[in-house]
């Protein structure tokens, strides 16, 4: 299958592209499209055969449910059994935007979308292209991130193309996504609201609206054998570069010291080393690079900065691109600096932890 890549930077001038994409959705095909978080691979959420194509294209396990995207609050009625008061508070404050809410589902949501669960994940994206596509299609759109299963989520149309070319008919290219990490997933179907996946709508923001919010234990620890995942996606290895990742946690000056030591050791053993740094520390690693005498040795060290620790939202926006870039460099090991867990930092640490298979080194 040929994969068409169509630019939609100026939504007013691109109504044709959106119309074509909507037509594909209505015909039961898949289309990749930008959202404010990451690119999604969409299909008509009410058409099980169309949704099946998403699972096939991504190689996604059938027991991992999808998020349904809507552009109008009225669509909630059709998809849910009932909507709690808390949900309306959250919707008022955070929709459209990067918050996915888990509801009790109605019978009109096909089982394949929810992987047989009796709940459904719903969000209203704020990206103008995503909103226009849903509106023009006239149906709710089920969409996971548009990467092949296990890879970092795509933050540009190029990432989607690299992963899914030949397997989907169309990609709407809206440039780089804004948030850069997937939406926050919040379950409000139980006694207390629980964050299943941290994201751009932070724990602190949710606390302000809800008072009390819990973090699912699966966010920072691997699932024990036999413990059921609250969010099935949590049991899969994710965001994973080819090389093993180790995250260093603790005081920032000690972090750089320990990572420099570990990197030197790997280099001595003839390994190619990738370092995920921050603006505050990348100079230290660059100094190490300068000390490597010959060109060959310098090629063995790839240093990428996520951005400044002062701006966690910026670091979040770069994370997946960094993981892909460091992968392309063909390194043998990746050493990553941990960041503060406040604000977007919580989501950054969650994605890093998953990429590292929860492999941490505490330096304090
Ligand atoms: O930002 C996003 O959320 C992006 C864009 C495209 O909207 N989508 C996305 O979808 O990240 P996906 O499929 O990659 O991640 C959805 C997560 C998975 O971990 C899945 O297990 C969880 O949401 N999920 C979906 N339905 C659920 C449900 N009913 N109960 C618990 N977790 C659910
Ligand atoms: Mg995903």
Alpha-carbon dihedral 247, 253, 258, 263, rounded to 10 degrees: 80
Q: What is the pLDDT of residue 6?
A: 96
pLDDT per position as a tens digit, 4-51: 999 997 777 778 999 999 999 999 999 999 999 999 999 999 999 999
Residue 120 alpha carbon, nearest atom of ligand 1: 29
Q: Which ligand has the shortest distance to the CA of 65?
A: 1
Q: Which ligand has the shortest distance to the CA of 239?
A: 2
| Residue 200: pLDDT band with limits 50, 70, 90 | very high
Model pTM? 0.95
**C-beta of 170 in contact with ligand 1 (< 6 A):** no
Report the C-alpha gap between 54 and 41 in whole angstroms: 7
Report the C-alpha gap between 84 and 129 in whole angstroms: 29
What lies within 8 Å, CB to CB, of 109 at 6+ separation is: 45, 46, 68, 79, 120
pLDDT per position as a tens digit, 218-273: 998 887 655 667 777 666 666 778 899 999 999 998 999 999 999 999 999 999 99
Helices (H) and strands (E) in the chain, counts: 13, 17
Report the C-alpha gap between 162 and 249 in whole angstroms: 32
**C-beta of 36 in contact with ligand 1 (< 6 A):** no
Nearest to 331 by CA among 275, 273, 286: 273
**Once rounded to an integer, what is the mean pLDDT over residues 116-122?**
97
Cα 224 to ligand 1 centre (Å): 21
Residue 100 alpha carbon, nearest atom of ligand 1: 3
CA distances from 4 to 17, 80, 329, 342 (A): 11, 34, 27, 40
Q: Which ligand has the shortest distance to the CA of 37?
A: 1
């Amino acid at each position: 299958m040929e994969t068409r890549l169509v630019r939609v930077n100026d939504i007013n001038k691109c109504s044709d592209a959106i119309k074509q994409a909507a037509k594909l959705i209505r015909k039961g095909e898949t289309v990749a499209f930008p959202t404010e978080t990451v690119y999604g691979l969409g299909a008509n959420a009410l058409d099980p055969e169309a949704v099946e194509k998403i699972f096939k294209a991504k190689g996604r396990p059938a027991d991992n449910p999808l998020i349904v995207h809507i552009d109008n609050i009225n669509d909630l009625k059709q998809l849910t059994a009932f909507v709690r008061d808390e949900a309306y508070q959250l919707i008022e404050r955070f929709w459209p935007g990067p918050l996915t809410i888990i509801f009790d589902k109605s019978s009109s949501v096909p089982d394949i979308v929810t992987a047989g669960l009796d709940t459904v994940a719903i969000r209203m994206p704020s990206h103008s292209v995503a909103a226009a596509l849903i509106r023009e299609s006239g149906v709710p759109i089920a969409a996971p991130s548009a990467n092949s299963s296990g890879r970092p989520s795509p933050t540009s149309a190029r990432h989607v193309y690299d992963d899914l070319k030949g397997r989907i008919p169309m990609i709407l290219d809206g440039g780089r996504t804004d948030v850069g990490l997937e939406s926050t997933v919040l379950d409000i179907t139980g006694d207390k609201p629980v964050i299943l996946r941290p994201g751009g709508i932070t724990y602190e923001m949710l606390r302000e609206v809800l008072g009390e919010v819990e973090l699912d234990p699966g966010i920072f620890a691997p699932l024990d054998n036999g413990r059921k995942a609250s969010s099935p996606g949590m049991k899969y290895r994710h965001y994973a570069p080819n090389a093993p990742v180790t995250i260093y946690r603790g005081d920032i000056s000690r972090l750089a010291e320990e990572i420099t030591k570990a990197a030197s050791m790997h280099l001595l053993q003839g390994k190619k080393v990738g370092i995920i740094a921050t603006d505050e520390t990348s100079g230290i690693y660059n100094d190490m690079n300068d000390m490597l005498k010959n060109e060959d040795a310098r090629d063995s060290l790839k240093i990428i900065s996520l951005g400044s620790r002062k701006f966690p939202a910026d670091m979040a926006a770069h994370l997946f691109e960094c993981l892909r870039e460091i992968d392309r460099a063909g390194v043998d090991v990746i050493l990553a600096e941990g960041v503060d867990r406040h604000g977007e930092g919580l989501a950054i640490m969650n994605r890093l932890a998953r990429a590292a298979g929860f492999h941490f080194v505490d330096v304090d």
